[in-house]
Amino acid sequence: MSEKINCGKCGMLLYFGEQISRRLYMRAIPDEAAVLAAYNNVCPRCGAALSEDTVKIEIKRRVIHGAQ
């Protein structure tokens, strides 16, 4: 699984890589928030405030041929 986080306003790529948390049942623990905190919760390009509600978080499964 890979994860991508973009600014919800200008689309600036903030994070791309392995999924931050595979423990979806523990979503109350804001792992993405740690990424946003690295930007001081402000988009370095457009200055928009970053929060888990304003950024676009995309989680993609790896395509496994022949699965299912």
Give contact residues for Zn ion (rule: CB under 5 A). Answer: 7, 9-10, 12, 43, 45-46, 48
Reading the block at residue 18, the tokens are: 């392995």
Measured from the CB atom, the residue of 40 and 68 that comes closer to Zn ion is: 40
CB of 33 to Zn ion, least distance (A): 17
C-alpha closest to that of 51 among 67, 33, 30: 33
C-alpha dist (Å) from residue 40 to 1, 3, 18, 51, 57 = 26, 20, 22, 10, 18
Q: Report the residue number, 15 or 21, with the smaller CB distance to Zn ion.
A: 15
Indicate the residue among 5 and 7 with the shorter CB distance to Zn ion: 7
